[in-house]
Amino acid sequence: MKKYDIVILGSGLGGLECGYMLSKKGYNVCILEKNSQLGGCLQTFKRSGITFDTGFHYVGGLKQGQFLYKLFDYFDLLGLPWLQMDEEAFAEIIIDGKSYFFASGFERFVATLAKEFPSQQRQLENYAGFLKQVGCNIEKSFSSNSNNAIDLLEQSAYGFMQKTIDDPLLRDVLSGGSLTMELCRDKLPLYIFAQINSSFIQSAWRLKGGGSLIADKLGENIRQMGGTIITKAKATKLLEKDGRISSVQFNDDEHIEGKYIISNLHPALTLLLMDDSKFAKKMFWRRIPNLQNTYGMFTAHLQLEKGRIPYLNRNICLYKNQDPWDCGYAPNKKGLSALISFQPPQDGSSYTENIDILTPMYWEEVTDWASTAVEKRGDEYKVMKRQKAETCIELAAEYIPNLKGHIEKIYTSTPLTYRDYTGTINGSAYGIRKDHNSMLQTMLTPQTPISNLFFTGQNLSLHGILGVSMTSFFTCAKIVGMENLAKDLHL
Ligand X SMILES: Cc1cc2nc3c(=O)[nH]c(=O)nc-3n(C[C@H](O)[C@H](O)[C@H](O)COP(=O)(O)OP(=O)(O)OC[C@H]3O[C@@H](n4cnc5c(N)ncnc54)[C@H](O)[C@@H]3O)c2cc1C
* Interface contacts to ligand X, rule CB under 6 A: 9-15, 32-35, 40-42, 55-59, 180, 234-235, 264-265, 269, 297, 358, 418, 422-424, 429-430, 457-458, 463-465, 468
- 59 vs 89 by CB, closer to ligand X: 59
Question: Burial level of 468, CB count in 10 A (0-12/13-18/19+)?
Answer: buried
Give the number of other Cβ atoms within 10 Å of residue 398's Cβ. Answer: 12
CA-to-CA distance for 469 and 476, rounded, in angstroms?
11
Which one-letter amino acid corresponds to residue 214?
Answer: I
Q: Cβ of residue 117: shortest distance to ligand X, in angstroms?
A: 27
CA distance between the termini of the chain: 40
Strand partners, 344: none
Shortest gap between Cβ of 129 and ligand X (angstroms)? 24
Q: Which is nearer to ligand X, 40 or 227 (CB)?
A: 40
User: From the CB of 85, what's the least distance to ligand X, in Å?
Assistant: 11
State the CB neighbour count (10 A cutoff) for residue 341. Answer: 22
Closer residue to ligand X (CB): 42 or 173 = 42
Among 222, 391, 406, residue whose Cα is nearest residue 322 = 391
DSSP characters for 74-118?
HTT-TTS-EEEPPSS-SEEEEETTEEEEEPSSHHHHHHHHHHH-G
Please, which residue, 69 or 430, has the CB nearer to ligand X? 430
Task: Please report how close the Cβ of residue 287 comes to ligand X at its closest, in angstroms.
Answer: 20
Residue (170 or 464) nearer to ligand X, CB: 464
Cβ neighbourhood burial of 461 (10 Å; 0-12, 13-18, 19+) = buried
Closest-CA residue to 310 (of 365, 355, 264):
355
Q: Which of 262, 268, 198 is nearest to 433 (CA)?
A: 268
Helix (H, G, I), strand (E, B) or coil at 127: helix
Neighbours of 385 (CB within 10 A): 21
Instruction: Give the amino acid at 134.
Output: V
CB of 121 to ligand X, least distance (A): 30
C-beta of 19 vs 457, nearer to ligand X? 457
Say which DSSP state 428 is in.
-
* Amino acid, single-letter form, for residue 57: H
CB of 183 to ligand X, least distance (A): 15
Q: Which is nearer to ligand X, 57 or 377 (CB)?
A: 57
Q: Mind giving me the DSSP string for 193-257?
A: HHHHHHHHHH-EEEETT-THHHHHHHHHHHHHTT-EEESS--EEEEEEETTEEEEEEETTTEEEE
CB of 181 to ligand X, least distance (A): 9
Min CB(111)–ligand X separation in Å = 26
**Nearer to ligand X among residue 41 and residue 392 (C-beta):** 41
405 Cβ contact list (under 8 Å, min separation 6): none
Q: Do residues 194 and 131 touch, judged by C-beta distance below 8 A?
A: yes
- State the minimum distance, in angstroms, from the CB of residue 307 to ligand X: 26
Report the candidate in 185, 205, 258, 188 with the shortest Cα–Cα distance to residue 228.
258
Alpha-carbon distance values, 121 to 44, 102, 107, 110, 376 (Å) = 42, 15, 11, 7, 54
Q: Whose Cβ is closer to ligand X: residue 165's or residue 181's?
A: 181
User: Min. distance of Cβ 428 from ligand X in angstroms?
Assistant: 8
Residue among 236 and 246 whose Cβ is closer to ligand X: 236
The answer to whether the beta carbons of residues 472 and 462 sit under 8 Å apart is no
Residue 300 CB, nearest distance to ligand X (Å)? 12
Is the Cβ of residue 30 or residue 59 nearer to ligand X in the bound state? 59
Torsion sign across C-alpha atoms 465, 467, 470, 475:
negative
Q: How far is CA 257 from the centre of its chain?
A: 30
Nearest approach in angstroms of CB 23 to ligand X is: 17
Q: State the minimum distance, in angstroms, from the CB of residue 118 to ligand X.
A: 32
- Of residues 110 and 462, the one with the C-beta less far from ligand X: 462
**Residue number, 124 or 464, with CB nearest to ligand X:** 464
Between CA 296 and CA 116 the distance in angstroms is: 33
